[in-house]
Amino acid sequence: MTLARPLDLHALEAFVACCDCQSMTQAALRLGITQSAVSQLVKNLERDTGTLLLDRDLRPPKPTAAGRALREEATELLAHARAVADRARSGAPTEGTRLLLGCVDSFAATVGPALIRALSGRARDLLMWSGLTPVLAEQLLRRDIDMAIVTDAVVADRRISVRPLFSEAFVLVLPPASENESGNPPDMQAAAARWPLIRYSLRSVMGQQVERCLRHFGVQAPRRFEFDATDPLMSLVAAGLGWAITTPLCLLQSRHHLGDVRVLPLPATALGRREFFLLCREGEWQGLDDEIVRLTQQVIAQHTRADLERLIPALPHSALQVSPSQRSDPP
């Protein structure tokens, strides 16, 4: 089976000019090319369509029946082609443009649903999936995804813009029966002396950030239990097998364990927070990145924080904070 050749838009434009001007000479003047070039373009179009389009025995040449049918469709076809070219040149995403958005797991499970609903009103064909920050950053650089919501802003590519979204405080998670002899909950040092630390794996940015937090507070704990995900970590703490450091979003992600653990705030320090960023290629999305920043921060302020205060009232308001609006670029 032989596939039909696609129409050459330049040839189609030349044919339309001949029909409108009823003269190849005038068509050439309109297009700013030579008459011989117009003639050759029309011949090429006839070759591609496999039929005669202009009756050249007449003076001036007039379209054949096939030519008239093509002329009726040509104006809309050329207008659409010009609009597509204009959008491509401007880089502006259109309604229905597919957006591939990668997110870390805790964001996808908690903020993600409300963000998807908010973005659906923008008529986007949104695809969202989750992964670890290093994997998402690599996928962004390979253009496997268009944007990434991650917890580390280090991307060695000046074409990638970094947009702060929000931050959350690390919190202490203890087994339910965790009071000491005085009836007060233990701090990290006391928890480390009493139970094993249930860790996030160092493969994840979360695990690396928790380790920095532990060093900052001078807490040493042997490596015994390590997980990539929050759910098994919380399961072991709920079973009384250890303690953990995690974040509010991770707790909301595993909220079914909240009734079986005790959550306490940690002292406020710069190393005691996890930050979220939106990464995308600079200048390619014509303000859609601004819209995602705005909607994400709106969801955090209006929905996620309310869930947190309802489910974990022991945490302060500062446990989840929207970042100041700013744009930064990697060095």
Q: Domain spans of the chain?
A: 9-90, 98-166+275-306, 169-272
- Map residue 331 onto helix, strand or coil: coil
∠256-261-263 over CA atoms, to 5°? 105
Structure tokens at 146: 């268009």
> Would you place residue 122 in the very low, low, confident or very high pLDDT band (cuts 50, 70, 90)?
low
Q: What is the mean pLDDT of residues 217-224?
A: 87
Report the alpha-carbon distance of residue 67 to residue 296 in Å, rounded: 54
Sign of CA dihedral 102, 276, 327, 139: negative
Could you tell me which residues come within 8 angstroms of residue 48 by beta carbon, excluding any fewer than 6 positions away? 4, 5, 6, 7, 8, 11
- Residue among 274, 290, 273, 280 nearest 155 (CA): 280
For residue 3, the model assigns a pLDDT of 42
Q: What is the mean pLDDT of residues 105-123?
A: 85
The CATH number of 9-90 is which of 1.10.10.10, 3.40.50.300, 3.30.70.360, 3.10.129.10?
1.10.10.10
For residue 178, the model assigns a pLDDT of 65
Lowest mean pLDDT among 55-59, 135-139, 238-242: 55-59
Domain 9-90 identical in fold to domain 98-166+275-306: no
CB-CB contact of 282 with 159 (8 Å): yes
Q: What is the mean pLDDT of residues 295-319?
A: 93
Report the alpha-carbon distance of residue 293 to residue 101 in Å, rounded: 13
Topology of domain 98-166+275-306 in CATH is: D-Maltodextrin-Binding Protein; domain 2 (3.40.190)
Report the alpha-carbon distance of residue 59 to residue 42 in Å, rounded: 16
Give 140-193 pLDDT, tens digit per residue.
999 999 999 999 887 778 889 999 999 999 999 999 876 654 445 568 888 888
Q: What is the mean pLDDT of residues 75-92?
A: 71
Lowest mean pLDDT among 6-15, 98-107, 190-199, 307-316: 6-15
Q: Tell me: cis bond preceding 330? Omega within 30 of 0 counts.
A: no
β-partners of residue 99 are 126
Report the percentage of the chain scoring pLDDT > 70: 89
Give 46-68 pLDDT, tens digit per residue.
898 888 988 888 888 888 888 88
Q: Does domain 169-272 have CATH number 3.40.190.10?
A: yes
For residue 301, the model assigns a pLDDT of 93
- Residue among 204, 193, 325, 213 nearest 267 (CA): 213
Question: What average pLDDT is seen over the chain?
Answer: 86
β-partners of residue 322 are 166
Report the alpha-carbon distance of residue 249 to residue 207 in Å, rounded: 15
- Residue among 217, 212, 250, 214 nearest 234 (CA): 250
For residue 234, the model assigns a pLDDT of 95
For residue 96, the model assigns a pLDDT of 56
